[in-house]
Amino acid sequence: LLDRCTVVYLECDEETVAARIARNSGRPLLAGDAMARWSALFITRKPVYERLADLVVDVRHGSVSELGHRLEVALRDYAAAKQEVEN
C-alpha cells in the first residue's frame, strides 16, 4: 500500500492541537483530559509518522481553506518531483 500511496504527515504543535481540541470536544478518544491523551498517543506515534511520511506539511497556521491549498500544492509538487525522478 505504501508503494502506491503518498503519505502526508500533517505537522502541528501542542498549542495548536490544544486549541483545536477545545473547539471540538465530541471525539470519544479525547474525552476527559484530552491533551494528556493526545500527548501520550503522539509521543508513541510521531516516530512512525516521520518514518513513513513522503511529505510533511505544517498545519499550525491558517484557515481550513489555506491549509487545504497548502496541502494541494505540496502534493502537486511532490508528484511532479517524483515523476521527474522516474523519467
Q: What is the pLDDT of residue 29?
A: 66
Cell 506539511, located at residue: 57
Residue length of the chain: 87
Q: What is the pLDDT of residue 72?
A: 97
Q: What is the pLDDT of residue 69?
A: 97
Spatial neighbors of 34 by CB under 8 A, at least 6 apart, are: 21, 25, 27
Residue stretches of the chain with pLDDT short of 50:
none
The C-alpha cell of 24 is what?
471540538
Tell me the whole-structure pTM to 2 decimals.
0.79
Spatial neighbors of 60 by CB under 8 A, at least 6 apart, are: 11, 12, 13, 16
Q: What is the pLDDT of residues 6-16, one digit of tens each?
A: 999 999 998 89
Count of C-beta atoms within a 10 Å radius of residue 61: 11
